[in-house]
Amino acid sequence: MVRATGGFFTVLDEQGRAYICHARGKMKLQKASLLVGDRVRFCPGTKENGVSAGEAARGCREGLIEALLPRGNCLTRPPVANVEQLVLVLALRDPDPDWQLASRLLLMAERERMEALLCLNKVDLVGPAEIDAAARFLDHFPYPYLFTSAKAGKGIAGLEARLRGCHSVFAGPSGAGKSTLLNAVEPGLVLKTGAISAKAGRGRHTTRLAELLPLPQGGMVVDTPGFSRVDFAGLEPEQLERLFPELDPYRGRCSFRNCTHLPEPGCAVRDAAAAGEINPWRYQHYRCFLQELIDRRKDQR
């Protein structure tokens, strides 16, 4: 399913033909929510009722969704399913990068067993010294990253290669340039882009809904509305360290079996962070998130 709006769902069959579908009544009774990216079983129809003139001109047909097939993963924000890769877009300037939001989004990717790629965008707005500083800031960063600029054409070929044959979701704060990058990869998408609000210092939302977009080189992407907050619903404090892959080599090496890597003596993780073997800002985000989860558990009691 590539699009959902107003109770209508656009579904592609195995030949890539589009159908505008309703969900069968029993699915509504079962409160089965359908998301962009879902794989469904549907019955093609023959009537054109409910299909707009524009959709009919593009070869859209009518159909009826009968069942939702099992999901590989599911995100609530952005609301998409069966995504293989998160492309996290941060601007180096206008707006300045929000590294804590980056860690929150990467946690979401780990939790849903997704690959992750960081795009440090708008490099045309900064000088070589700032790019070098960003690279040093990412020392021991556990995910691949690219420096990109749609305006300068930098990193676009590398991004295109990472998108090929994969279902990817673009995410990041408003104004970081997600839609602009997608337009650079595939100009035929013609996605809306927007400027930065001078008053608020952040981007205006240009993407209004999640939509799965096919790429000519193979693969599909979801362009999503920007957002500035990711919560940790359902996540327990004991689960957090497994969502930071850079901590894996140190698991079991602490003096205490249930080490939280905060105040305990003989903590291998804290020692590694102090020695520069773990990215320091990532370790600080781990500490911050763990305290957030601990405080939330106390509040719920």
- Domain residue extents for the chain: 3-70, 75-223, 237-300
At 48 the pLDDT is 45
Cα end-to-end distance, the chain, whole Å: 41
Least confident of 72-86, 252-266, 282-296: 72-86
At 47 the pLDDT is 47
At 26 the pLDDT is 77
At 213 the pLDDT is 86
Least confident of 29-43, 128-142, 191-205: 191-205
Strand pairing class (3-5; 8-12): antiparallel
- Residues 253/247, Cβ–Cβ less than 8 Å: no
Least confident of 101-110, 210-219, 242-251, 279-288: 210-219
Burial of residue 139 (CB within 10 Å: 0-12, 13-18, 19+) is exposed
At 5 the pLDDT is 83
pLDDT(278) > 60? yes
Considering the four listed CATH numbers 1.20.120.10, 3.40.50.300, 3.40.50.720, 3.40.50.1950, the one that applies to the domain covering 75-223 is 3.40.50.300
At 201 the pLDDT is 44
Arithmetic mean of pLDDT, 240-262: 95
- With cut-offs at 50, 70 and 90, classify the pLDDT of residue 223: low
Output b/e per residue, 46-60; b: 16+ Cβ within 10 A. eeeeebeeebeeeeb
Q: Which of 55-69, 177-191, 262-276 has the highest mean pLDDT?
A: 262-276
Please enumerate in sequence order all residues whose Cβ is within 8 A of that of 203, keeping only pairs 6 or more positions apart, or say none: 95, 173, 174, 175, 176, 194, 195, 196, 197, 226
CATH code linked to domain 237-300: 1.10.40.50
- Considering the chain, what is the average pLDDT of its residues? 86
**What pTM, to 2 d.p., does this model score?**
0.84
What residue has token string 């408003």? 174
pLDDT(204) > 70? no
CA triplet 19, 219, 226: central angle to 5 degrees?
85
At 132 the pLDDT is 97
Sign of CA dihedral 59, 64, 70, 72: positive
Query: Helices marked H in the chain — which ranges?
Result: 25-29, 53-57, 99-111, 128-137, 156-163, 178-185, 268-274, 280-300
- With cut-offs at 50, 70 and 90, classify the pLDDT of residue 194: very low
Check for a shared fold between 75-223 and 237-300: no
Arithmetic mean of pLDDT, 92-99: 95
- With cut-offs at 50, 70 and 90, classify the pLDDT of residue 150: very high
Classify domain 3-70 at the CATH class level. mainly beta
Higher pLDDT, 27 or 134: 134
Closest CA to 37 of 105, 76, 83, 88: 83
Q: List 221's β-bridge partners, or say none.
A: 168, 213
At 191 the pLDDT is 59
* 44 phi-psi bin (left φ>0, alpha ψ -120 to 50, beta other): beta
At 195 the pLDDT is 44
